[in-house]
């Protein structure tokens, strides 16, 4: 089980991972987007980090709801509303819980993906963050269903997300700024799919 204190620690690790990859994410975005994805994500997680001390003692749902609100208010472009919605939906699923297990995490991921699909009006295969999120969820469900330990479930999710990011290189973007490029978007990996991979990896490394 993962308690509220550990969730706060994980958010700090996620912030550090975004900082480490901020330039890489921005470079990816320069090729097919607004050249600011890493910068924006780093700004959002800086705000999250600033608010972590005030979240000590709160339940998991309340923590994630606040993270979502921070990301909506500080991350520019479409990523703010999308990631913000993902965290708020996950938080709603964890409302009142001071501990979560793998089944909870998978249920929270389902809610997060549903929120992203609703907010972005997108589906898998359109060169978006969903192309790493959905395969990761499917792989984690399968691994958890096979009775694997939490660390192995998360590793399965990371591997599937990596494959999803690779998949985005070969498809045409049909959503967001990248869609303006049409076939010229082929050959470039999606920044949003990549930032989700960065965040999931940061979590998996702790288990």
pLDDT digits (tens, 9 = 90+) for 86-131: 999 999 999 999 999 999 999 999 999 999 999 999 999 989 999 9
pLDDT score at 172:
84
pLDDT score at 34:
81
For CA atoms 59, 61, 65, 68, give the dihedral sign: positive
Write the CATH number for 99. 1.25.40.340
Parent domain of 23: 2-204
* pLDDT of 180 higher than 60: no
Q: What phi, psi does 6 have (nearest 5°)? A: -65, -35
Share of the chain above pLDDT 70, in %: 95
* pLDDT of 149 higher than 80: yes
Give the pLDDT confidence of 16-72 residue by residue, as tens digits.
999 999 999 999 988 887 889 999 999 999 999 999 999 999 999 999 999 999 999
Look at the chain and count its residues. 207
Give the number of other CB atoms < 10 A from CB of residue 96.
8
Angle between helices 79-93 and 191-204 (to 10 degrees): 40
Record the pTM.
0.95
Indicate the number of domains in the chain.
1
- Structure tokens of 181? 């490029």
Residue 184 pLDDT level (bands cut at 50, 70, 90): low
pLDDT score at 167:
96
Tell me the C-alpha to C-alpha distance, in Å, between residue 80 and each of 2, 14, 60, 70, 87: 26, 16, 21, 9, 11
Q: Give the three-class secondary structure for 99.
A: strand
Asked whether the beta carbons of 10 and 51 are under 8 A apart, the reply is no
Give the number of other CB atoms < 10 A from CB of residue 101.
13
Share of the chain above pLDDT 90, in %: 85
């Amino acid at each position: 089980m993962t308690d509220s204190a550990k969730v706060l620690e994980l958010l700090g690790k996620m912030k550090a991972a975004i900082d480490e990859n901020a330039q890489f994410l921005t470079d990816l975005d320069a090729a097919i987007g607004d050249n600011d994805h890493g910068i924006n994500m780093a700004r959002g997680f800086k705000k999250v980090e600033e608010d972590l001390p005030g979240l000590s003692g709160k339940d998991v749902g309340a923590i994630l709801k606040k993270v979502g609100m921070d990301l909506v208010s500080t991350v520019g472009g479409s990523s703010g509303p999308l990631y913000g919605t993902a965290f708020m939906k996950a938080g709603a699923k964890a409302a009142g819980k001071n501990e979560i297990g793998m089944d909870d995490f998978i249920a929270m991921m389902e809610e997060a993906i549903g929120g992203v699909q609703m907010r972005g009006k997108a589906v898998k295969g359109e060169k978006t963050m969903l192309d790493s999120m959905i395969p990761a969820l499917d792989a984690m469900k399968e691994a958890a269903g096979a009775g694997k330990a939490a660390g192995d479930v998360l590793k399965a999710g990371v591997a599937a997300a990596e494959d999803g990011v690779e998949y985005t290189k070969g498809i045409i973007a049909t959503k967001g700024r990248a869609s303006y490029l049409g076939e010229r978007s082929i050959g470039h990996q999606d920044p949003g799919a990549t930032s989700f991979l960065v965040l999931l990896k940061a979590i998996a490394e702790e288990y």
